[in-house]
Amino acid sequence: MKALVTGGAGFIGSHLVDALMESGNEVRVLDDLSAGSLDNIKRWLNHERFEFIKGDMRDPGVVKRAVEGVDVVFHLAANPEVRIGSQSPELLYETNVLITYNLLNAVRDSSAEYLVFTSSSTVYGDAEVIPTPEDYAPLEPISVYGGAKLAAEALISGYAHTFGFKALIFRLANIIGERSNHGVIYDFINKLRRNPEELEILGDGTQRKSYLHVSDTVEGMLKIFKHFRESEKTVDFYNLGNDDWITVREIAEIVSEEMGLRPRFRFTGGVDGGRGWKGDVKFMRLSIEKAKKTGWKPELDSYGAVRRTVKELLRTI
């Protein structure tokens, strides 16, 4: 299989590249390195089955060249910062919706048979059913980021049904692990390094969400993709997350413990009833029953994933 991974030098993308290369596939990466790093994929840079293209997906010509000759496109390129939506919605549009539109036009005119897209749990908004299944409706994102992901999903579905390729869409919980360079654990570590005596925590600390380690994420993506290829579906949706969830306060306690610190916790109080920021989904846990029916299940629960990630990041950042 010849695969294109957009955002392949980023956090999740680089772990996916590792798995694809280790399985003997040909891999091409398209990344502008705005959020990713060549260090994440340096082991493959001179490999005969690997190709790296530095390019901005807002340029349709760049995208068209990257898609040429591939069998499957794993579309992970995106601005990963949910919070930026309230300050720069136009940037989230460009780096989530526009680049997906450019990619779909390139796929339409190519030999690619499959598109795999990493969407987000944020498309569900404040779901009234928890754990939230894939067929939950109506989808009502409460952030511009969630809206952009949902818009990309809709475009992908429309293009796949119209132009004859198959599309697999993953709605991801909070994905954590080595090489991540944003998010609550990353922020807590850096805050405590600056001030070991006090830790600022956005919101009221009761926000509760599901976390999945990147190793379980990539394994799930590839196992479910294999299952999807053998199905009759044109477009299909799968949640990837965990059966449990963890509060922000509990994450702060694990980070402090692993760093050997006992800081004071200072909660900002947050907005809209204790959320960390405008558009923050306060409670999120996805149903993963559909994914588990394919034979996948996460090795680490949310607590295990958080603790492993803290250890990984303390070694590397």
Q: How high is the pLDDT of residue 294?
A: 98
Q: Given this model, what pLDDT does residue 83 score? A: 65
Is there a domain that residue 249 lies in? yes
Looking at the structure, tell me whether residues 226 and 127 fall in a common domain: yes
pLDDT at 196: 98
| pLDDT tens digits along 78-112 | 987 766 646 688 988 999 999 999 999 999 999 99
Same structural domain for residues 120 and 196? no
Asked whether residue 79 falls in the same domain as residue 203, the answer is no
Kindly state whether residues 133 and 265 are assigned to the same domain.
no
Count how many domains the chain has: 2
Mark whether 137 and 188 lie in a shared domain. Answer: no
In this prediction, residue 160 carries a pLDDT of 98
**pLDDT digits over 245-280, tens only?**
999 999 999 999 999 999 999 999 989 999 998 899
233 and 89 belong to one structural domain: yes
Q: Is residue 10 part of a domain?
A: yes
Q: Is 134 in the same domain as 190?
A: no
Q: Which residue in the list 145, 159, 211, 238 is annotated as catalytic?
A: 145
pLDDT value at position 88?
A: 81
Pair (83, 113) in one structural domain: yes
Domain that holds residue 305: 177-210+243-284+295-316
Task: Judge whether 134 lies within some domain.
Answer: yes
Q: Domain containing 86 — which CATH number?
A: 3.40.50.720
| Residues 165 and 250 both lie in one domain | no
pLDDT at 84: 63
Q: What is the CATH number of the domain that holds 266?
A: 3.90.25.10
Strand order in the sheet with 246-247: 246-247, 208-209, 283-284
- pLDDT value of residue 81: 72
Where the chain has pLDDT below 70, the residues are 82-87
Q: Which two tokens stand for residue 308?
A: 């492993």
Residue 290 lies in a domain: no
> Is 31 inside a domain boundary?
yes
> Is 145 an active-site residue?
yes
Q: What is the pLDDT of residue 86?
A: 61
Same domain, 205 and 224: no
Are residues 206 and 219 both part of a single domain?
Answer: no
182 and 226 inside one domain = no
